[in-house]
Amino acid sequence: MTDQSIPEATSQNPSPAVPAPTKADAPTRAGVSRRQLLGTAGATGLVLGAAGAAVGYTAAPVGATPLTSLGADRAMFHGKHQPGITDPLQACGHLIAFDLAPGAGRKEAAALLRRWSATAERLMAGQPSDHGDTGVALDAGPSSLTVTFGFGHSFFDRTGLQRQRPSALDPLPDFSSDQLDKARSNGDLWVQIGANDALVAFHALRALQKDAGGAARVRWQMNGFNRSPGATAHPMTARNLMGQVDGTRNPKPSDPDFDQRLFVPANGEPAWMANGSYVVVRRIRMLLDDWEKLSLTQQENVIGRRKSDGAPLSGGTETTAMDLEKTGKDGSYVVPVNAHARITRPDQNGGAAMLRRPFSYHDGFGTDGTPDAGLLFICWQADPLRGFVPVQRKLDRGDALSQYVRHEASGLFAVPGGAAKGEYVGQRLLEG
């Protein structure tokens, strides 16, 4: 958890309101077919990579509700970078790691990535998978679906590609706050799925798991969620399960060094990682029972920001620069020295920055009523040794928030650049 937000250009901005349908607009029969649905999307124009707001119609029959921009929004599979990195946060997410099956190697991995890429391209376009489609997402539009693929450290041993393994993929150091479950950490392959419709997201999860066939087996899988686009009166930074505005200082596409911080340069090493990024994934449980016992003032001092609007305790609005030197009447710092927002500032960590794109999670309650809930922390950077690692080391040395969270799973994956038309993700590695 760091004091950063999704880029302004990719925040959850609601689309313009859609006029209420007239009687002539109502469908002639209940339901809308996939062909009709996609035709409607084409007629109104797809909002590429932008989150839309669903429009409600009071007392309208389910079959009379037209396709809204929420379902029509579409992200592109092919591009310079893989989808799911700079796209807006989606309402639903699945993270899944696979290990190659015994006996599977480079050839099987290449065939698997070819299948996965083909399926992802179809599903992101709002089409069914080309074999054995389950029908879960029938009648739904793309719903901003994104699918992202990455390789873990062990993948290169399993495929005989050790010489192509980047040094940035070296295992993360141990941190004192870690209580990691190895069974839910790392993996040969990693897949991130996000969508603004839960059925569309599950459909993609199931299709990719089926595509794995005998080549790979599920190692672990996690489910997450965010606030739905359009759920607030105006676009705003998301809140986490502690109720805090979470992520105010994310790098923005308008920053001159945005690409440099996030992506491996086109002439970088290894060559197959050109325009790719490295993702750190952490399952961070929030100890909500302990957190909720704190007073509002205590919670704000732990974070260093007001709970109501995310503004720094030193004053201003959410985006106001934090004044770390401001003191109160008693001479103490207004933003405590161990406040989470102070410790995670890039200018307090040698400029270290990462793009956070997390999901919240809730996996039920323990027998004592303790919630198993928290954050699926997902952060992107050109080099984790210059992004995640220095910030986490600093947090390890005295973050006030550390006694209210527990890191229970971890993974680091190399995410290659986007696939060009006619290519599959990872082709330059597996066929290079």
Residues with Cβ within 8 Å of residue 298, at least 6 apart in sequence: none
SS (H, E, C) 108-161: HHHHHHHHHHHHHHHHHCCCCCCCCCCCCCCCCCCCCCEEEEEEEHHHHHHCCC
Question: How many residues comprise the chain?
Answer: 432
Residue 304 CA to residue 299 CA, distance in Å, equals 8
Residue 293 C-alpha from the chain's centroid: 29
Tell me, what amino acid is at 355? L
Question: Residues 6 or more apart from 255 whose CB is under 8 A from it?
Answer: 261
How many other CB atoms are found less than 10 A from the CB of residue 311?
Answer: 18
Structure tokens of 165? 């393994």
| Tokens at 34, concatenated | 């996939």
Does 246 qualify as catalytic in the annotation?
A: yes
273, HSE (Cβ side, Cα atoms, 13 Å):
24
SS3 content of the chain, % helix, strand, coil (to 5): 25, 20, 55
Angle between helices 106-124 and 198-212 (to 10 degrees): 160
- Is 76 in contact with 48 (CB distance < 8 Å)? yes
Shortest CA distance to 179 belongs to which of 65, 328, 287?
A: 287
**Marked catalytic residue, from 73, 99, 211, 246:** 246
* Catalytic positions: 246
